[in-house]
Amino acid sequence: MIIIPLDSFNKRPSNHLKQRDCAIDWSLDSPHTIVRKIQSRDSQPGLLDSIHKIPLYLYGAHIQPLATPSSASPKTLLSHDKNALLLSTNDPYHALWITHLKNPANQQKPFKLPTNVTNIAVNVSPNILKWRILLPRRKSGRRYDHCSW
């Protein structure tokens, strides 16, 4: 039998994760750990980090296996397309797609947006790799999945 003091019935447990608890250490965290951290904060407000020294909330992380090992240091922008940014990780065989960002300083758009709408200056050649989008369609009661690659 568990005995709960009467004064604790009206208190809510404070087990909410803080930003500091989920902070990414790009040099130590594995790609899978980074994805879990971003997904743990995927609702509001997101996981606060920075890209090109701009503080941003990150959303929609997905691992991209690389055919050729990357020699880039972790958190280097490897590629981008109209739907996502590709960042290097500490694993040379895996990179990370980030699909949505939110700029905490932008009061006109205080919500997460696709990476192409956030106007982050990107100084790498686009489309080295493409973010793959699955486009489901229905025809005559059947589902057809078309891919963008």
Instruction: Delineate the domains of the chain, giving CATH numbers in brackets.
Output: 23-127 (3.10.25.10)
At residue 31, the 3 state secondary structure works out as helix
**pLDDT per residue as tens, the chain (149 positions):** 555 555 555 555 555 667 787 899 999 999 999 999 999 888 778 899 988 788 889 999 999 898 888 889 999 888 877 778 889 999 999 999 998 888 888 777 777 877 766 656 554 444 444 445 445 566 777 765 544 44
- Describe the chain by its helix, strand, coil percentages, rounded to 5: 10, 30, 55
User: What spatial distance separates the first Cα and last Cα of the chain, rounded to whole Å?
Assistant: 58
Longest CA pairwise span in the chain (Å) = 63
Which one, of 102, 24, 100, lies nearest residue 62 by Cα?
100
The answer to whether the CB of 117 falls within 8 A of the CB of 85 is no
59 with 100: CB under 8 angstroms? Answer: yes
